A and B are shown apart, each in its own frame.
Chain A
């Protein structure tokens, strides 16, 4: 009986104690916090300028099914301050805030073009060091005005930072037009020999009339998330457009899905002035094998790509079921399209002399002795590096029909 009572007492005590573990574990009450969801950094005369996109910690939670969302009006506040260091700049927003600033929920960090040209190391250092900021945030380089960007309202989103970090997941899965990376990857990339970072790019659209457009019945898209910013060390040296970025993803084995439009050959019976006809192939399941050639003195590489694809549409009639040669030709053409993308990306990187593919790093990893010989001259070698490409595409299915419908 006594044993039983003790057990009961123990259990009750456990249950009582459990209640203390729920909810907030310290005295920082949610109603006293202002959560920054995204941070932008720019340079100014004083040093750094930080733009915070703040959300009311209570509003964000309840806003989910409130009336706010239906009108797509924003529920954030953009605030900026300057400082001599990035951290000081963030901290200097304090006088304007009535609540305690929390940076634990920062999902994206956007860096302006000017700051990127000066060097992003100080910002990365803040990200690494501060205990509530995370290295799993996403980093972007902005082409356009930072202030407008932080104030921009993306339709269908209440806070643009949240929208952008959500978009990243989608882009990574289905578009291959953005070099998707965590800040950790970029930090690591800077430290690796023979590898330069390619950082996702945000382009601000129509800078002049964002405010007007938000009052129009159908708002224009305020920004575009695609392409990459090419870095040399921690400094921005140029941009890669969508096709070049796609080439980069093919070369670095980062492609998950790519939509390629492939030009169809003209048949002899077509008239001279016939329009170009296209075929859309969706590439999935890409396997990239990049090797440094053993006898290449560090300047020759061999690339093998095996890609699977499927047909999504076709603008001209044709039958793949009975004509096997056509399938082979289509495979070759898609492969050539991929090869073109890679060549474009390689040319751009070589013209900027920034090894964003990590070809030097590949040497360092796999042929360390060779790398030691070329290490000091890598800047001279990289612009003339040759990559032998062997791209094989297998288009294995044509969707739910196997030929274009007849028009009679």
Chain B
């Protein structure tokens, strides 16, 4: 399997970081989902802890089987038929999350820049480009992440720093005066966006040092959560808690409201550009993981021929995933996304961990 290539630990970290940061900053759910909150940035810590836990649960199981993807070890643990059924849950996650991600990117572009362009076109272009990267294999995606990461972070930090002079620090007060419940509520959605970590069990066998992959994944989600803290601080500091929480794309609105001087304003491109880059990495990874696991479920040797038909499904799915912006927005409410993501993470991993535990006990018994 050497022909398929490998990625380094750093590349895995960057891939997972970009995937999580893109979606976390695009909607900035941390400031929108729990109503107006001056201290929403505190939820960044909650999200860091929560997503780190998810990464641990997902990663530590997978690293027990460093040469197998989730499809392979699920069959080993649960038997062929049941294992394949569980792997289908993973496949569903890849398809669904990727569809929502691309849809959101499409919505940003259609809402803010290209109101006359059909959503289909924006989405299809993104998926086609990503499927090319997925076709080229994991090594290419790893290097793409290497290349995109500095641009991605630099642009987001530039926007953030450019907004600092416009901050009215009073808008960030009071801090933690309304108790811990709203903060916890605000951290639910950013935490469960870590559903993306479920790509790790497919990527892990391709990482050069699989035993360290979990640590990299945890670092990736924690760092991406911490990126939410400065971005939400500037967003609330510039827009105010109310406008920030009403915004469909708060970080984008922030860039609109920043005016460094009479001639230096309109920084929106700096926000949308990294989203496009980040989403490219994310979608190609989902496509790769989806095609790879589907190939293994169906016992096909090469995953590549599956990519073009899957890309078509991805495009159709991301258009069908919600009728309008309101439905998409509702999906990110804590009471919707929370149980949804929790089920998708807990059910397969509960089963797999249980089977693993039983097997361990049996071995000891013998």
Contacts and interface: CB of A to CB of B under 8 A. Distances in A.
A and B co-occur in one complex: yes
Interface of A: 128, 131, 134-136, 169, 182, 184-185, 187-188, 191-192, 358, 361, 364-366, 368-369
Contacts of B262: 169
A191 B241 contact: yes
A348 to B, nearest CB: 23
Contacts of B38: 365
Contacts, number: 54
B173 interface: yes
10 contacts: A131-B112, A184-B240, A185-B168, A187-B243, A191-B36, A191-B240, A192-B242, A364-B173, A365-B173, A368-B177
Given A128-B243, A135-B256, A188 B174 contact: no
B177 A184 contact: no
Given A131-B115, A135-B256, A136-B256, A184 B239 contact: yes
A135 B246 CA distance: 14
Nearest to B265: A136
A135 B170 CA distance: 19
B259 A187 contact: no
Is chain A's interface secondary structure helix, strand, loop, or mixed overall? helix
Contacts of B171: 188, 192
Contact of B256 (A134, A169, A358, A369): A134
Contacts of B178: 368
A182 B173 contact: no
B259 A136 contact: yes
B240 A365 contact: no
Interface of B: 36, 38, 111-113, 115, 168, 170-171, 173-174, 177-178, 238-243, 253, 256-259, 262, 265
Nearest to A25: B113
Nearest to A188: B240
Contacts of A192: 171, 240, 242
Contact of A368 (B174, B243, B259): B174
A233 to B, nearest CB: 14
Given A135-B256, A135-B257, A169-B262, A184 B238 contact: yes
B240 A366 contact: no
A364 B174 contact: yes
Nearest to B170: A365
Nearest to A166: B262
A333 to B, nearest CB: 32
Given A131-B112, A136-B265, A365 B243 contact: no
